[in-house]
Every structure is written in structure tokens, then in C-alpha cells.
Structure 1
Amino acid sequence: MTSQEAHPQRTGEPATTSAPHHGPPIPHNGPLVTEEDIAAVTEALRSGWLASGPRTAALEEAFAERFHPMHACAVSSGTAGLTLALRGAGLGDTGATVAVPTYGCSALLDAVLAAGCTPMVVDITERTLTLDPERLDRASRLDAVIAVHTHGHPADLDALRPKAALLVEDCCQSLGGHDEQGRPLGGIGDAAVFSFYATKVISAGEGGMLLQSDRAAWERVRVHQDPAAREIYTPRFNHRLPDPAAALALSQFRRLDRIVAHRRTLAARFTAALPPHIAPPPGLAPGQVPYRYCLRAADRAQQQQWIGHLRAAGISADPLIPARHLLHRQLGLEPQEYPVAERVVDSTVSVPLFAALTDEQAHRVAAALTGLPD
């Protein structure tokens, strides 16, 4: 989950080395809304059903079918889904320790704290930018781990499984992907959360989906979708997903495999365009969803040189997360305890890769990548 998608972090205007671009600027990200999507939302609006209703239920059924035997609950956001995953497991308001990767959106902290738990921020692996299992204490078992499949790269779930009583997959950037063993991301942990934010793999503007393997946990979170009065009062929040948003998400979910295939084609095209001295993004593997196409520069100077080269070609390249937004820094923790994340933010160059990218835009991106300076 990355808040930087809506408001990309700007780092000034680095020196440029490429020729001026021809054509309109290419954004870093953007949603793909088709006529099919518009028709689905229009039908929902004309039905007169604006609150959660039949389309929300249909979306839940579609996810439950794809990720059988998981139980599905549509929610108002990915953050809400993470919060409810912890509460559904009985960890709410217990101060339970929940490990999260430092390279990620601050919504991870929001979700853990909103659930009444305690976040433990952990450094990441160099290759996949996911939470590093080796950084966790081998002597004690955590209450929970939120394993983010960062940029679509699968976290090492098998290594994380014995580390915590509850394993939550954050699939907000990996819908439609599989791990190296061919298992669908979202169907491996005790719970999984997806986001339908505007620039995710599929979009409803906002919203998300929570999957849970334990039916009792699923039943506990369903009360947050029930607007009726409680027999015995307990506080709860409204985390429901309205029908028009569910209609949009369902329309896109039905063509998920095509969306994922297009992303993979784009990633392969960009890799083929790279000059010999530029390595492709580490961590890219068959089966995963290339949510981001992130090159890794040698240092900050080269990072800024590459970003300048691409921006001069009218391509909105981006470093994604500045150092001050790393979660350990947000909590005032010592940067030297998180060396991999500190190094990654000064080397990452994210190139536009999203479902709405046209063939002409992809051609311009590939051409600019071919000319990346050494």
C-alpha cells in the first residue's frame, strides 16, 4: 500500500541528459476505466441501490470463489481490511506485537494502531523489498506479521509462517499474482487484504477486500458491515463498501487475468529495451504481478541522473518513497538499524507501468530506457 501513488514525491529537477520529449507527458500511474466499467456503475446507480447491497455481495462471492476456501468481506479500504484482520483474530485492543516492513505506506502503522496493537518495524530484503524474516527474533514468536507483497514481489511466507501466530498477507499491490511455488498470493496466509484504491491492480476509487481462512474470525468482522442496532452495545466503525464502488471493482475483477497479462507484457518489453549496462529490476519472477517496474541505481547521484533523463523524455519516473517516509523514521527509530531500506530509497527509479498505458506510451518509455546513461 503506497500513499505516494496519489501524490508522488518530487525531489527537485535533476540534471537531464535526454532529448526533449514529443507528445504529452506520460504519468507515473493511472486507472483504466472502460466502457464496460462505466456501464456497470451506471446500472448500479439506476438500480437505486447505493449502500452495500447485491453488487457488494457479488464481489465478495467472486473473491471467495477465486480464493477458495477463504471467506471474503468487502471493506471501505485496504487499511480497514488490515485493521479488521487483526481484530477478527482476537488481537484488538490487546497491545499485541505486529511486525510490519519499514519500506511501505504509513497506513500499515495506522491499521496496527487502530486495532489497538503495537507495531514492530522491520528492515527488508535487498532483492524483493519485502519484510526480511532473518530480522525477526528467532527466540520469541510474534502475535502477528503483516507480510506486504511489495511492488508485487511475493514475501517469503514460508519463512514468516513460524514467526507469528497470525500471518496476514498485504496483497494491495499483488492481486492476480502467485509465489514461486505457483500458489495464489492472498490464499496462503491466515488472512489477506486487497486494496481497490484508484491506482491499484483493479480500482473502485476506494475500497478493499479482506479474506480470512477462519470462519469464526470472518463472522466477527461482519458486524462492521451491519448497520443494525446491537443487542449488547460494543463500539464499531462503518467499513462498508457501497454498491456502485463494488460494481466498478467487480467489472474490473472479471478481467483481472487480462490486466495482469498486460502488466507482464509491459515489464518484459521494458526489460528487453534496457541497455547492456543496466540490470533489470531485481525480484521480477514468473507468476508475479509487476505492480511497479523499479530499476535500482548504484547510488543517489545515478538515481537522480536516470530520473532526469526520463523526465526530459516526458516520462514521470519517480523514487517512490523518500527516506523521511520510511516507517522507522516516522516512529523516530534509528536509521542505522534499517540499512537496506535506507539504501533502497536512494537507488530506486520507478518507471510508469499500469494497465491504462497505451502502446504508443509504452514505446516512448522503452525508447527512453534504451538511452539510460551509465
Structure 2
Amino acid sequence: MTFDKRLGLRFLPYGANYLDWDDMSELRHAVEHKVLFRYQTETESMASRLERTVARELDAGHVLAVHNCTEALRLALVSTRPRVGDVVHIPAVTFVAVAGAVLATGLIPVPVDVDDTFSLDASLLPDDAQRVIVAHMEGTVAPLPEGVPYVIEDTAQALGASFPDGRRAGTRGYAGTFSFHHNKVLTSGEGGLLVTNDERAWEVMRCYHDHGSARQPGRYPTWNEDAYWGENFVTSEEVAAIQLQQFRHLPEILAGLERHYAIALQELPDRPDIELMPRSAGDAKISIRFRLADRDLRDAAVARLTGQGIANWTLGKYLLPEHPVLKGRRSLYADGFPWNLADGVPRALSHDGFARTRSLLDRTLCVPLSPELTEQEQAVAAKAVRQVLESL
């Protein structure tokens, strides 16, 4: 049986499937007013409205809209007032943008090995760790290390997820970062958010993201007397408008993912060499994840699923110690900055040189869930995945 393509390869994942011209009232408003720069609006800007909406939905103290999640990570790091060459401990399994944000801030990333869920293994952190980025990979809420002054939550893949105590992922650490990239829970193509409950940190972030000065709506450009140099990470009104439209659908998307996950659990393959990687109640269930007996079986599953038109992915590309940026300590600066400041800094922290993690990655298979499908369609999709995996 060839799987119904309408339920298969999903080029428009999650929030993108909810983009609809008839639902774009905020975007129409921004265009009709012909002001797309947030600090020149006469009334509340779309960007400010977005920040207010997110703060309410996530129960966060302060929110700042930026161009993308990488910039949000940079802003969070800059606001800690580091010295160039300071170390930032990051997960060994995550997207390379995390390492890139650290390096672009003049700091040194040190990958730290992960546990069975691909969450950073805090037991490997040195006692004097100052800055740690924790990634909530694949919607899985990772535990936060204790006793670290600056814990930054990379929540790019886990918007809407919750910790066991009910607090939203991205709101428990020093700062949380979110992505609206195309392949995220919500999307505006690109776009990011920075969340913090630290008011002084937010003031630094707000100034740095707009050339070092706190702008006032309708009074642009103005400069603070104590302005310092910064960069331009200011989001635009049309992007914020699309993000507002997307946020209206967040409860619907999360509920659809939960429903599809529950249905998929009823259609698990009946074979001992394919195990489910369980999820916690608060995870954003963007996929169902399997751990197979070996790499050959995983590769056979990838080939068979792809041949049947069923979307799937693997996670080997996320092993940062093998990425050229970290493995070769590559830099465009003539003097190798900031790697030239890394004397004495360990390349990575692992119990076994990442042997266990490589094995886990080699055997892991992810199949995306589809919140926009009806319950009947989700049942058909889950059965198709089970049939393919049982046929291997």
C-alpha cells in the first residue's frame, strides 16, 4: 500500500498549516496603516502587542521580539555582561545555531554530553559553571541545572511545553529563547522571541537589540544619555502580525499534537527491536520517537517510510562535537577569534567521548505528528507508520 500523500510528506509543518489569508486581520491592519517599523506606529505596535500576548500566554515577566532565535540567544548571553573568551556550556546534541550564537558573542562553546532523552547531562558540569544553555530538543522539556547563575533555555523546538510544576518551558531559567522558523510549532518563516523574568536583564536586552538605546514609540530616533553600542535586531510589524495570527492557534495545535500522540500510542509496532521513546506529560509532542536495535534497522526504516511517502527524520546532524565549526574550530577572523582565546578550555565534556550518544543517535527515528488532521486521518496515519515498521 502506498500511503496517502495528503497525509505523508509534510512540507508545511505545524503552524504553517494554519496560515490563511482569511485569518490575517493583524497583517491587513499593519499593511493598511503603511507603517512596518515598530517604533513609528502612533498606536500600539504589532510587535508590542505580540510581546504582551506572549507574556500573558506564557506567564512571563518580559518578552522581546527579534529577527530569529539565534539573535535571542546572543541577546541573552550579552545581557549577562560576559568577558570575551568566557565559557558557555551547551548541549552536545542540538542545532549548530546554539554554538554559533555563543561564538558570535565572543565566547567559547563547550559541548556537554546528554542523557538518554538528549537533554544536557548536568552531572558533567564543573562546579564553577557560570553560563549554560539547555535545549528542549524535539519538544522534550529538559531539566535545568541547579546552582548556575545564568541558565538560558533554548526553547526553539518546544513552544507551549510545560515543566512538571506547570510553568512553561522557557520561563524558569535566566532567559528563554523561541523560534518562528518554518519547521517550528508556530512559524513566520523566520522570527524569534526572548523571554526573561529579570527586569534589569530585559532593559539591557531591549537597548542592545536597537543600537544600545531604549526607543520610545512615535519618537524615533531618540537616544538615551547612557546609550552604549548595540546591534539592530528589531522585528518588523508584518512579521509580528503573522506571529500574532499563529499564536491564536497555539492551543489548537498543541491539542492536535496531543490527540495524534495518543492515537499513535495505540498503534505501536509489535516487535521487540523497535521501542518507543516515551514523552512526559508537559512535552510539546511534535513527533513520535522510536529507538531501534541498530543503525541498519533504523536506516531500513527510513528508506521504507520515505518510499511510502511518510515523513521522518533522524538526529545525527545535531551532534555538535562532529560539526566542522567545533571540530575544526573554524573562524572567519584572521586571528581565529574567539577560538584564539580557548587555550586551556576543554573541547567537550563527556563520560566516554560521546560513544553512547552516537549509538543513541544512530538508532533514533522520529516521525512527525500532524495536529491539523482530523482524528480519523490521524488514525490512518498512525496505522500506516505501524504497518511499515512491522514490515521491516
After TM superposition, the score normalised by the length of structure 2 is 0.81
Q: How far has the Cα of 1:300 moved from its partner?
A: 0.7
C-alpha separation in 1, matches of 2:266 and 2:275: 9
* Letter in structure 2 aligned against 1:59: L
Q: Distance in 1 between matches of 2:12 and 2:287?
A: 10
Partner residue, 2:42 = none
**AA paired with 1:65?**
R
For 1:20, the equivalent position in structure 2 comes to: 2
**Are 1:289 and 2:276 counterparts?**
no
C-alpha separation between the residues in 2 aligned to 1:192 and 1:76? 15
* 3-state SS of 2:311 partner: coil
Structure-2 residue corresponding to 1:62: 53
Give 1:46's aligned residue. 32
Q: Does 1:343 align with 2:325?
A: no
**Aligned counterparts, 1:162-311, within 5 A:** 162=147, 164-223=148-207, 224-225=209-210, 226=215, 228=221, 230=223, 234-277=228-271, 281-311=276-306
The verdict on how the C-alpha distance between 1:233 and 1:220 changes in structure 2, with shifts beyond 3 A counting, is closer
**1: CA distance, partners of 2:24 / 2:166:** 33
* Post-superposition offset of 1:359: 5.5
Aligned residues of 1:291 and 1:353 also touching (Cα < 8 A): yes
Whether the 8 Å CA contact 2:3–2:384 is kept in 1: the answer is no
CA contact (8 A) 2:161 2:169 kept: yes
**Is 1:134 matched up with 2:123?**
yes
TM-score with structure 1 setting the length: 0.85
The reply on whether 1:75 has 2:57 as its aligned counterpart is: no
How far 1:36 moved relative to its partner?
4.9
CA pair 141-342 structure 1, distance change in 2 beyond 3 A: same
Structure 1: distance between partners of 2:372 and 2:178: 20
Correspondence 1:106 to 2:96:
yes
Alpha-carbon contact 1:37-1:248 (below 8 Å) kept:
no
Secondary structure of the structure 1 residue equivalent to 2:130: strand
1:29 positional shift:
5.6
- Describe the shift of the 1:347–1:29 C-alpha distance in structure 2 as closer, same or farther (beyond 3 A): farther
- Are residues 1:154 and 2:141 paired? yes
Cα distance, 1:284 vs structure 2? 0.5
Distance 1:202 1:356 in 2: 13
How many equivalent pairs are there? 347
Gaps of 5+ in 2: 40-44, 328-346
Q: CA deviation at 1:99?
A: 0.9
SS of residue paired to 2:253 = helix
Change in 2 beyond 3 A, CA 1:257/1:122: same
Partner SS, residue 202 of structure 2: helix
What is the alpha-carbon root mean square deviation over aligned residues? Answer: 2.4
Rounded to whole Å, the distance in 2 between the matches of 1:22 and 1:254 is 29
Checking the alignment, whether the CA contact within 8 Å between 1:122 and 1:136 is kept in structure 2 is yes
Counterpart CA distance in 1 for 2:200 and 2:226 is: 19
Helix, strand or coil at the partner of 1:187: coil
Q: 1:37 to 1:116 in 2, by over 3 A?
A: farther
Structure 2 residue aligned with 1:14? none
Kept after mapping to 2: 8 A contact 1:101/1:122 = yes
Provide the secondary structure at the position in 1 that maps to 2:88.
strand
| Contiguous gaps of at least 5 residues in structure 1 | 1-18
Q: Structure 1 residues 55, 359: closer, same or farther in 2, change over 3 A?
A: same
Structure 1 residues 69 and 263 mapped into 2: Cα distance closer, same or farther (>3 Å)? closer
2 CA distance for matches of 1:49 and 1:360?
44
- Asked if structure 1 preserves the Cα contact closer than 8 Å seen for 2:60 and 2:197, the reply is yes
Give me the whole-angstrom Cα distance separating, in 2, the residues matched to 1:119 and 1:150.
18
Further displaced range: 69-78 or 280-289? 280-289
Quick check: 2:316–2:362 contact (8 Å CA) kept in 1?
A: no
Percent identity, aligned pairs only, is: 28
Displacement after TM superposition at 1:365 (Å): 2.7
Q: Could you tell me which amino acid in structure 1 is paired with residue 141 of structure 2? A: P
